[in-house]
Amino acid sequence: MTSADLYTHRYGVPGTRPVMALHGIQAHGARWRRLAERYLPGVYVVAPDLRGHGRSTWEPPWSVERHVMDLLAVMDQLELAQVDVVGHSFGGLIGIHLSRTAPERVRRLALLDPSVGLAPAGLHDLARRTMQAPSFADREQARAEREARWPFASPGAVADEVAEHLEAAPDGRWRWRFNPAAVVTACSEMALPAVLPPSTVPTLLAIARRSGFVRPEFVAACRSSLGDALAVAELDSDHMLYLERPDEVGTLLHRFFAADAAQA
């Protein structure tokens, strides 16, 4: 389904407590389907394809500010006055900016290994590789590539990715549904100095121990700024923690979002 300029995947029953789920770079909203259906009962999960990704518009600008405006437009069109937000990687960065721009519209914020204030050198390398994004002769070759990249993914994750995120290009090759230019822009945004969630928004910070994405100084700054409004969890996982450890992540999110459900 479409809303504003974004294609939105929706799980659960409209009218129940809404959760907006934000994916990372090179990804899409349907990656949240299994987690939403299995671990977030009784809520309405809205998972947009971010601008430049999936079935949403690929047109620029791709700045953090534009992503935030896109998400607010989705909320307005779906008549969601306030949402819980969960964001993975770059989606976590967007979630922070959304909560800073419109804190009254974000009830709770869950950050899954957020890409905030990362090392510029590493992001430069990622941007260069992205501009030479791979293509595949067929779906099986794409599947093999994704299996190699996600060695610890839970059963079904790779099959879901091939079914939802792979498309045939006019040249007869197969490619993942994302605009490399949008990803390069995201790399630049992730290299900027870290920003923190507002102290008024209860925040869960879930850290993948084996990824190295979340820097200790970011955790310390969040603890100092948010105090008791911050919960921190560490998981024995690589960066794709919600695909690798769905039981643990799903349980964390369910408990975090349900903590004040009686007042929602």
52: left (phi over 0), alpha (psi -120 to 50) or beta: left
Whether 155 maps to a domain, the answer reads no
Q: What is the DSSP code (8-state) at residue 117? A: S
Regions of the chain short of the pLDDT cut 70: 1-4, 261-264
**85 φ, ψ to 5°?**
-125, 135
Number of domains in the chain: 1
Whether 127 maps to a domain, the answer reads no
Structure tokens at 20: 């907006």
For residue 193, what pLDDT is reported? 96
Whether 20 maps to a domain, the answer reads yes
Whether 126 maps to a domain, the answer reads no
Rounded to two decimals, the pTM is 0.96
Q: Which residues are 83's β-sheet partners?
A: 106
Is residue 235 within 8 Å of 263, Cβ to Cβ?
no
Whether 249 maps to a domain, the answer reads yes
% of the chain beyond a pLDDT of 90:
93
For residue 5, what pLDDT is reported? 87
Is residue 197 within 8 Å of 226, Cβ to Cβ?
yes
Whether 62 maps to a domain, the answer reads yes
For residue 259, what pLDDT is reported? 84
For residue 136, what pLDDT is reported? 97
Whether 253 maps to a domain, the answer reads yes
For residue 261, what pLDDT is reported? 61
**126 φ, ψ to 5°?**
-65, -40
For residue 72, what pLDDT is reported? 97
Rounded to 10 degrees, the C-alpha dihedral 128/147/40/15 comes to 60
For residue 22, what pLDDT is reported? 98
Total residues belonging to the chain: 264
What is the residue range of 61's domain?
Answer: 2-117+196-263
CATH number at residue 255: 3.40.50.1820
Whether 135 maps to a domain, the answer reads no
For residue 264, what pLDDT is reported? 44
Which run of H or E residues covers position 47? strand 43-48
